[in-house]
Structure 1
Amino acid sequence: MLDSNGFTRPQYETIVVDLTAKWQELFGSDSDTSAHSVAGVLIRLMAFFLDLIYKLAEKVYNSQYLSTATGVSLDKIASNFGLYRNPAEQAIVDLSFTGTPGFVILAGKMFKTTDGKIYQLGSDVLLSASGTGAGTAYAMETGAQYNVPANAITSQVEPTSDIFTVTNPQAVENGANIETDAELAHRVRLANDTKPSSPVNGVISAVMEVPGVKSVQVVTNNTMAVDSYGNPAKTIHVYVDGGEEMKIADALFNSVSAGILMVGSHTETMTDAAGFSGNVVAFDYATKETIFVTVDVTTNNDFEIDGVDQVKKAVNDYLGSVPMGGTVRFSYLYKYIYDNVNGIVVATVKIGTKADSQAMTDIPLTQFSIATTTADSLVVTKNGN
């Protein structure tokens, strides 16, 4: 039904009731319309297909609104604002090697983490006279699951004795999943809200368009003294959760006004349209705050073989949704666990910032921090084991 309150889709049961009433109006109130009668079967068959048509009508109606559109319909709304869904991004990592001096590590050589995430070397690496070298490797697949901490890539897929060690000195931050409907809709709202507003909001909007970026905070120091965060006078300090460093730098270079000094530990030198290459862009990634999580689940026969891993994924998915400087709410973890893992009868969740101080309580993150877990900080037990 479409009226001043919008579109309301009748439920299947309502359609059956309406068709039954119409049938008895046409053929008599004593007509047999029970579920197994000829009339009843025909009514329910028509109701089934009418229900599908109403569902389609509801989707068509909702597709025109930002708050309810999904999939391709949302993509088309976003394109009206000049925005497009960010694709999944391949993680890129710089690897450091030690080995036999003069040995050439060929492009295509694969390295992995202890949990089996594989990265492939992009070009040949010649080890120096001191037996050291460095090269860039690419994740075998796209996705944020290939973002790993520093010193996590330490093994060869096919070992050779001429390579002694391999590691990634820096954490991998640039892998990204395809942008979800909720994330794209948020960017559309942000872009629409910030076009006529302050330069700070413009910077946030620009950086949020970088694939893999989940949240942004900007600290401006408009005074002539060092501020409470340690930022020098007349500076801007941008904190970013996720995204590739060079793409973030490019977004900042094209959104921060000329003459404003940017500060941060990550710096890139950019070339402007006139060919001057001395433009320094700086920012910081959000600090990772390790959250200790203990989950004990009581299960039934529907609990799958990899159910423990599913619980861990549900926990990490929730923590990844907490914005920079937000609050980790332990009660929200229950929804993520129950909604995404089959076979759980009861779950007990405790969280904390230390292993020995976990409780059923919320954890506020520091202003420029994001929540994360490690292999040791996330413990899931099944039926007490």
Structure 2
Amino acid sequence: MLDRTGFKRRRFEDLFAEMNDKAKETFGDKVNTSERSPLGIILRIFAWFLSKLWVTAEDVYNSSYINSAEGSSLDRLGPHVGITRVLDQYARGSVQLTGAAGHTLVQGFRVATEAKVYFDTTQDITFDSNSTAIVPIEAVEPGQGGNVSAGLINVIVNPTPDVTGVTNVVPTAGGREKMTDSEFRDLFTQSVAGGGAASIDALIGALLRISTVRAATVIQNFTNELDTAGRPPHTYQCYVLGGDDDEIAQVIFSTGAGGIESYGDVVNTVLDIGGYGHEVKFSRAQEVILQVVVTLTTNEQYPADGDEQIRSAIVRYIGGEDGGSYYNGLSMGAPAVYNKLVSAVDQIEGIEDFTLKVGKNDVMEEGNVTLERYQVAQINAKDIVVNRHV
């Protein structure tokens, strides 16, 4: 039923009660509608099928609202504020190949890590006189698994005598899974002001609409003096997590207020429609390295790789490096919530009891770790201490 208070779904019990009342009105009060009677069975069957239709009707109603829509219905709400769900993305980077000087290698040459994370080269290259070449690569499979550390890509999948070695000097990056419904709702909420311009909310919304930007915030100095962070008077500083420098600078120039200077340590020149250059400044999110110490009491059900599972669960929640793969984890400014860390550890079988401490700068405690708006938490699996008592 739909009225001024919204949609109210009729449940199986409600439908059967109405059908039962109607049966008694039609056949008399003494009609048998018990669970084993023919009429009672028929009424319950019809009530069950009708209840399924009411569930579908409720889903259709809820699909119109950002807080209750799911899946493709949620995707259809994004264009109303100028955003779309970020789909699976492939990690990218570059490798240094060694081989026969002057040999030309066509794109699609496959390399991998020892853990069997595969990458293909994305352009043709020719080895120079030093028998080396730098070539861009892209992961074969999308997702965060393609974000690997420097030096891990060292396997030539299809050996050829003209190529003798491969390594990645820098980590690969950019791989991620499809944005979840929860992440998309957060993006929707933050982007809702993005249709405007010359305001903090509009600037944040515009930055978040860049598909490779994970998070963004803007801090403004309204005063006539330098603020505590060193920002000049009447300037704003954009902090961005992810994204391309040129694209970010263009968005800041297009959306920021005219006559108000941007501030930051990343400086790019953007051309206006007349072809004149303008300096645009912003900053990258500051990474804060967290520390975690877990002390366990375990039993015989504790898996042989339980310590590694604990470290992996913590890294996936916070974000950082685990076994050569990078995980996005928490967004910029988000606190590391103690209860969620405890929940991540508690999923491992065979743990009788445990204590967990988390902190930064060697200050460890059993509580949340809060961050500034421009900071993002990171952790390395190898730095997570797991002490175990059987």
Tell me the CA shift for residue 160 of structure 1. Answer: 6.5
CA distance in 1, matches of 2:364, 2:146: 28
Q: Within 5 Å, which residues of 2 pair with 1:211-290?
A: 211-221=211-221, 227-231=227-231, 235-257=235-257, 261-276=261-276, 278-290=277-289
Which residue in 2 is equivalent to 1:368? 374
Which residue in 2 is equivalent to 1:326? 334
Which residue in 2 is equivalent to 1:201? 201
Change (3 A) 1:112 1:243: farther
Residues 263 and 283, structure 1, Cα contact 8 Å, conserved in 2: yes
Tell me the CA shift for residue 6 of structure 1. Answer: 1.8
Tell me the CA shift for residue 53 of structure 1. Answer: 0.6
Residues 290 and 377, structure 1, Cα contact 8 Å, conserved in 2: no
Q: Within 5 Å, which residues of 2 pair with 1:288-303?
A: 288-293=287-292, 294=294
Change (3 A) 1:330 1:37: farther
Secondary structure of 1:141's counterpart equals coil
Instruction: Flag structure 2 segments of 5+ consecutive residues without an equivalent.
Output: 319-327
- Report the AA paired with residue 52 of structure 1: K
Tell me the CA shift for residue 263 of structure 1. Answer: 4.7
- Report the AA paired with residue 333 of structure 2: G
CA distance in 2, matches of 1:234, 1:369: 22
Tell me the CA shift for residue 215 of structure 1. Answer: 1.9
Change (3 A) 1:291 1:129: same
Change (3 A) 1:76 1:244: same
- Report the AA paired with residue 80 of structure 1: H
Change (3 A) 1:217 1:10: same
- Report the AA paired with residue 200 of structure 2: V
Residues 198 and 257, structure 2, Cα contact 8 Å, conserved in 1: no
CA distance in 1, matches of 2:308, 2:212: 23
CA distance in 1, matches of 2:58, 2:103: 64
Secondary structure of 1:241's counterpart equals strand
Change (3 A) 1:74 1:97: same
Change (3 A) 1:262 1:62: same
Which residue in 2 is equivalent to 1:31? 32
Tell me the CA shift for residue 208 of structure 1. Answer: 0.6
- Report the AA paired with residue 112 of structure 2: K
Residues 99 and 132, structure 1, Cα contact 8 Å, conserved in 2: yes
- Report the AA paired with residue 205 of structure 1: G
Change (3 A) 1:12 1:372: farther
CA distance in 2, matches of 1:204, 1:24: 62
Residues 177 and 212, structure 1, Cα contact 8 Å, conserved in 2: no
CA distance in 1, matches of 2:34, 2:337: 51
CA distance in 2, matches of 1:242, 1:348: 35
Q: Kindly provide the CA deviation profile for residues 102-160 of structure 1, in whole angstroms up to 9, marking residues without a partner as x.
A: 555542223334544322211133344445532221122333443445x2643224266
- Report the AA paired with residue 290 of structure 1: I
Change (3 A) 1:256 1:132: farther
CA distance in 2, matches of 1:375, 1:76: 38
CA distance in 1, matches of 2:231, 2:152: 34
Coordinate RMSD, CA, aligned = 4.3
Would you say 1:350 and 2:356 are equivalent positions? yes
CA distance in 2, matches of 1:300, 1:12: 47
Q: How many residues align?
A: 377
CA distance in 1, matches of 2:104, 2:382: 36
CA distance in 2, matches of 1:99, 1:51: 68
Q: Kindly provide the CA deviation profile for residues 248-275 of structure 1, in whole angstroms up to 9, marking residues without a partner as x.
A: 3332242234565545454544444334
Residues 120 and 137, structure 2, Cα contact 8 Å, conserved in 1: yes
Tell me the CA shift for residue 313 of structure 1. Answer: 6.5
CA distance in 2, matches of 1:384, 1:31: 65
Q: TM-score, normalised by structure 2?
A: 0.75
Percent identity between the two aligned chains: 25
Residues 266 and 283, structure 1, Cα contact 8 Å, conserved in 2: yes
